[in-house]
DNA sequence: GGGTGAACTTACTCGCAGTAAGTTACTGGG
DNA sequence: CCCAGTAACTTACTGCGAGTAAGTTCACCC
C-alpha cells in the first residue's frame, strides 16, 4: 500500500544552497517579526522550514547572524523606499518631507519588518552590534546627503556638524517610529513629517553660522 | 585548631532585606555595566554578592526585573543631573543648552551607567518593554516642558506637536550618545550641544505658525 | 556504476533562567 | 533562658534553547 501510491513525485527534499538560504531567511523574517528575537528559537525556524537546526547554523553561523541577515534585508528595503521618495521629489525641501513620509508609511505597511527593526537593540552586545551599526550607516549617509542639499551651497560645510545632525535625525525617526507603534492614536505620517520638516528646515539654515 | 581562631567576628552573614537589596542592585549595576545584559548571568551576580540565586529571584522576580531596577535608578540619576542643569540656568535658551551638555557629560563620566542604558534595547519584548518606556517617560516630559518654555508664550500650544518634538529630541540624544561612545574622536559635549541648540532654537520658533 | 562533494540529520553537551522544598539564624514574648 | 514564629537564606534540582561532533544520504559526473 504505502509504496504504490507514493513515488510519483518524491517531493524533492534537497534544494541548492541559495534556494534553501532564501527559504530560511523568509521563515526567519516571519517568525522573528511575529514573536521577537527572544521569543523565537532556532528550533522553531528549523521546524517551520522543515529542516534541521545544524543546517541553519551551517548557513548563518549563529542566531545573531540569522537575525542580522533579516535585519539587513529589511533595512535595505526601507532604504530603497525612502531613497525613491527622496530622489523623485521636485526640490530639496520636498525631498526631505517625502523622505520622512516614506519612512513612517513603510513601517506602517510592514509591521513585521518594523518589529525586527525595533528588536535591533537585541544586538547591543558583541560583534553583532558593530554589524548592526553598519547596516544603519547607509541610512545615516542618505540623511547626511539630504542635509548637505539643504545647506546654502556657498557655505563651507562642517562635516562634524553634518554627522551630528544626521545621527540626530536617524535617532529621532527611530524613536518616533517606536512611539507611534506603541500608541494607537499617534499622529499620522504626514503630521509627523510636517512637524519635523518645519523644525529642521529653519534650523538647518542656521548651521551656516 | 580551626575553632580557636575563627569565632571572634562571625562575619555577620544575614542582613535585612533593604540592605541586601541595595547590595544586590549595586553588584548588578557593576556587572551589567561591565559585561552587558546578555553577558551577565544571575549566578555571576549571586556569586559576587555572596548569596544564592533564589534570593535574588525572591527580591527582583526575574533577570529583566533586576535589570530594570538598575536601569531605573541610573536613569533617575541622569534625570537629576539634567534637571539640575536646566533649572539653574539663567533663561530658556541657556537651559536647553545646559541640559544637553549635562546629558552628554553625565554619560561620559558614568560609563557603566551608560552601558546599561544602551542595553535597554534588550527589553524590547514582553512587559519589560512597557516598564522601560515608563522609565524613559520622565525624560520625555522634562524635554516637553523645556520645549514649551521655548515657544512664544502667547501661542496656543499643539500638544501633539510638542510630543513629536520631545520624542524626537529624546531619540536624537540617545542615538548621539551611542554614536559618541563607539567613536573615539567624536565631538565634545559642548560641540554637540551647540549644534543641537542652533538647529532647535530657530526651528522651535517656527512651530507657532 | 562508483566515487566525490554538497546537502542534510541524529543525537548529543552545556550554560543559564527559573523553582520547589527545605534549613538556619534572629527576635520578641513567656 | 528557651522556644515559637518568621524572615533570610540554601541545596538541588528542571527545562529549554543555543550551539556542535560525527556521521548519513542524495545528486551529479566521469
The count of other CB atoms within 10 Å of the CB of residue A33 is 20
| Total residue count of chain A as it appears in this document | 209
For residue A20, the model assigns a pLDDT of 95
Positions of strand D less than 7 angstroms from a protein CB: 7-12, 16-22, 26-27
For residue B209, the model assigns a pLDDT of 52
Place of cell 554619560: B107
Instruction: Classify A153 as helix, strand or coil.
Output: coil
For residue A209, the model assigns a pLDDT of 53
Cβ contacts below 8 Å, chain A against chain B, sum to 136
Name the residue with higher pLDDT: B106 or B5.
B106
Residue A51 to chain B, least CA–CA distance (Å): 27
Q: Using CA atoms, how far apart are residues B118 and A124, in angstroms rounded to an integer?
A: 7
Q: Using CA atoms, how far apart are residues B156 and B174, in angstroms rounded to an integer?
A: 29
Q: What is the DSSP string of A59-119?
A: HH-SHHHHHHHHHHHHHHHHHHHHHHHHHTSSSHHHHHHHHHHHHHHHHHH-HHHHHHHHG
Q: Does residue B208 register a pLDDT over 80?
A: no
CB A91 within 8 A of CB A187: no
Q: Using CA atoms, how far apart are residues A116 and A132, in angstroms rounded to an integer?
A: 12
Question: Tens of pLDDT along B26-80?
Answer: 999 999 999 999 999 999 999 999 999 999 999 999 999 999 999 999 999 999 9
Contact B201 A204 (CB under 8 A): no
The pLDDT confidence band at residue A23, using thresholds 50, 70 and 90, is: very high
Which of A39, A114, A163, A195 is the best mutation test for B, with the most CBs of B within 10 A? A195
The count of other CB atoms within 10 Å of the CB of residue B11 is 7
For residue B37, the model assigns a pLDDT of 93
Highest mean pLDDT among A146-160, B4-18, B193-207: B193-207
For residue A157, the model assigns a pLDDT of 76
For A26-31, the CB contacts below 8 A with 24+ separation are: A28/A66, A28/A67, A28/A69, A28/A70, A29/A70, A29/A73, A29/A74, A29/A112, A29/A113, A29/A116, A30/A112
Interacting residues of B11 by C-beta distance below 8 A, sequence separation 6+: none
Question: Tens of pLDDT along A46-77?
Answer: 999 999 999 999 999 999 999 999 999 999 99
What integer best gives the mean pLDDT of chain B? Answer: 88
Q: What's this model's pTM, rounded to 2 decimal places? A: 0.90
Q: Which nucleotide is nearest to B63 (CA to C1')?
A: C17
Residue B178 to chain A, least CA–CA distance (Å): 10
The pLDDT confidence band at residue B201, using thresholds 50, 70 and 90, is: confident
Contact A172 B176 (CB under 8 A): no
| Residues of chain A with C-beta less than 8 angstroms from the C-beta of B209 | 198
With CA atoms as reference, report the closest residue to B96 among B187, B176, B204, B181: B204
User: Rounded to a whole number, what is the largest CA-CA distance in chain A?
Assistant: 85
Q: Using CA atoms, how far apart are residues B82 and B77, in angstroms rounded to an integer?
A: 9
Nearest chain A alpha carbon to B36: A125
Question: What are A127's three cell numbers?
Answer: 560583534
Contact A122 B118 (CB under 8 A): no
Angle between helices A92-109 and A189-205 (to 10 degrees): 150
What is the percent of chain A where pLDDT is above 70?
91
Q: Find the range with the poorest average confidence among A26-40, B99-113, B195-209.
A: B195-209
Q: Using CA atoms, how far apart are residues A45 and B108, in angstroms rounded to an integer?
A: 41
Residue A161 to chain B, least CA–CA distance (Å): 7
Nearest-5° Cα angle at A164, B194 to A82: 135
Fold of A9-208: Tetracycline Repressor; domain 2 (1.10.357)
The alpha carbon dihedral of A126, A127, A128, A131 has a sign of positive
CB A37 within 8 A of CB A67: yes
Question: Tens of pLDDT along B159-181?
Answer: 999 999 999 999 999 999 999 98
Å from the B23 CA to the C22 C1': 25
| Residues of chain A with C-beta less than 8 angstroms from the C-beta of B188 | none
* Domain spans in chain B, listed from the N-terminal domain onward: 9-208
- Residue B11 — left, alpha, or beta (φ > 0 → left; ψ -120 to 50 → alpha)? left
Q: Using CA atoms, how far apart are residues B30 and A190, in angstroms rounded to an integer?
A: 44
Contact A205 B206 (CB under 8 A): no
Return the H-helix or E-strand segment holding B38. Answer: none
Please report, for residues A32, A44, A69, B121, the alpha-carbon distance to residue A54 in angstroms, rounded to integers and kept in the order given.
19, 13, 17, 28
Positions of strand C less than 7 angstroms from a protein CB: 6-11, 15-21, 25-26
For residue A153, the model assigns a pLDDT of 66
Nearest to B120 among A39, A121, A130 (CB): A121
Amino acid at each position: 500500500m504505502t509504496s504504490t501510491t507514493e513515488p510519483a513525485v518524491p517531493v524533492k527534499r534537497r534544494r541548492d544552497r541559495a534556494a534553501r538560504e532564501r527559504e530560511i531567511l523568509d521563515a526567519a523574517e516571519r517568525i522573528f517579526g511575529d514573536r521577537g528575537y527572544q521569543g523565537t528559537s532556532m528550533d522553531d525556524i528549523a521546524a517551520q522550514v522543515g529542516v534541521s537546526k545544524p543546517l541553519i547554523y551551517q548557513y548563518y553561523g549563529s542566531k545573531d547572524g540569522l537575525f542580522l541577515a533579516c535585519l539587513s534585508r529589511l533595512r535595505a528595503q526601507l532604504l530603497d523606499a525612502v531613497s525613491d521618495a527622496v530622489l523623485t521629489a521636485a526640490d530639496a525641501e520636498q525631498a526631505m518631507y517625502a523622505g520622512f513620509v516614506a519612512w513612517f508609511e513603510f513601517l506602517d505597511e510592514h509591521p513585521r519588518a518594523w518589529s525586527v527593526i525595533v528588536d535591533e537593540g537585541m544586538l547591543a552586545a558583541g560583534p553583532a552590534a558593530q554589524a548592526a551599526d553598519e547596516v544603519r550607516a547607509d541610512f545615516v549617509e542618505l540623511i547626511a546627503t539630504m542635509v548637505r542639499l539643504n545647506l546654502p551651497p556657498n557655505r563651507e560645510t562642517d562635516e562634524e556638524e553634518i554627522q551630528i545632525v544626521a545621527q540626530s535625525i536617524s535617532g529621532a525617526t527611530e524613536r518616533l517610529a517606536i512611539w507611534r507603534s506603541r500608541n494607537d492614536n499617534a499622529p499620522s505620517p504626514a503630521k509627523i513629517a510636517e512637524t519635523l520638516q518645519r523644525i529642521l528646515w529653519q534650523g538647518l539654515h542656521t548651521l551656516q553660522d
